Amino acid sequence: MKMRALLKDDFVEVKVLMSHPMETGRRKNNFAQLIPAHFIQLLTATLSGKTVLEAQWGTGISKNPYLTFRLKGAKIGDVVEVTWHDNLGKSTVQSVIVTQAL
């Protein structure tokens, strides 16, 4: 997962690029066998430990999802953390420190 959190005016813009196959369970491989479902179900973002975003995803999200969101009330040095959990029980956590946009 790659992340960036930049302070612009009075809000922080957070950009997240996740590496995940996001398989629906409906696609077939070269041998006409269904590829098992494998997708992110829950995504949570926190700002200095407080939950600011929670999203329940399904099979309608594309491979390697890209997410952008804005937060008010953050300042330089705050920590933004994003966690996702998928339908196979795997999860990833990534954090980034808020910096000033150029």
Residue 33 is predicted with a pLDDT of 98
- Domain residues for the domain of 91 are 2-25+34-100
Entry pTM: 0.92
pLDDT on residue 63? 98
Q: What is the pLDDT of residue 45?
A: 99
Rounded-to-integer distance, Cα 49 and Cα 69, Å: 17
Q: The CATH number of the domain where 10 resides is what? A: 2.60.40.10
Sheet holding 91-97, edge to edge: 50-56, 40-47, 79-86, 91-97
Report the pLDDT value the prediction gives residue 83, as an integer from 0 to 100: 99
Q: Measured in Å, how far apart are the chain's first and last C-alpha atoms?
A: 23
Mean pLDDT by 10 residues, the chain (102 residues): 96 98 97 98 98 97 98 96 98 98 90
Q: What burial letters (b/e) apply to 54-88, b meaning 16+ CB within 10 Å?
A: eeebebebeeebebebebeebeeebebbbebbbbe
Total domains present in the chain: 1
